[in-house]
Amino acid sequence: DTAVSQTPKYLVTQMGNDKSIKCEQNLGHDTMYWYKQDSKKFLKIMFSYNNKELIINETVPNRFSPKSPDKAHLNLHINSLELGDSAVYFCASSMRGSNYGYTFGSGTRLTVV
């Protein structure tokens, strides 16, 4: 059983397109996140959602919008893709107040051409 699953694993698209990356967790966690890892492997948080409320919103372009239909899902929608958006995007989840830490998905490699 996959704890945090992301789809697709790879995504190649042209500049200007709109795309979505899906994330689902089956751990019963109440908070989910999106991270971006650049070409130098630097991992930086983009968003987090707790009980359908956005609680962290880092300085990312507003072309990026997280959407959470329920506690188990946090999708990332990207409008008007740019070359600089090429990166690996990781979804993660955690449970507030627990000591079990953060569980990460396996990542989505986005390439904008």
Partner 1 sequence: SQELEQSPQSLIVQEGKNLTINCTSSKTLYGLYWYKQKYGEGLIFLMMLQKGGEEKSHEKITAKLDEKKQQSSLHITASQPSHAGIYLCGAEDSGGGADGLTFGKGTHLIIQP
Structure tokens at 85: 């958006």
Q: According to the binding rule CB under 8 A, does residue 98 interact with partner 1?
A: yes
Q: Site for partner 1 (CB under 8 A): which residue of 26, 44, 52, 61?
A: 44
CA distance 11 to 109: 6
Tell me how far, at minimum, the Cβ of 77 lies from partner 1, in Å. Answer: 20
Q: According to the binding rule CB under 8 A, does residue 105 interact with partner 1?
A: yes
Tell me how far, at minimum, the Cβ of 9 lies from partner 1, in Å. Answer: 10
Q: According to the binding rule CB under 8 A, does residue 107 interact with partner 1?
A: yes
Long-range contact pairs involving 70-73 (C-beta distance under 8 Å, separation at least 24): 71/29, 71/30, 71/32, 72/24, 72/25, 72/26, 73/22, 73/23, 73/24, 73/25, 73/32
Q: Site for partner 1 (CB under 8 A): which residue of 13, 27, 45, 73?
A: 45
31-37 and 10-13 as β-strands: parallel, antiparallel, unpaired?
A: unpaired
Q: According to the binding rule CB under 8 A, does residue 41 interact with partner 1?
A: yes
Q: According to the binding rule CB under 8 A, does residue 52 interact with partner 1?
A: no
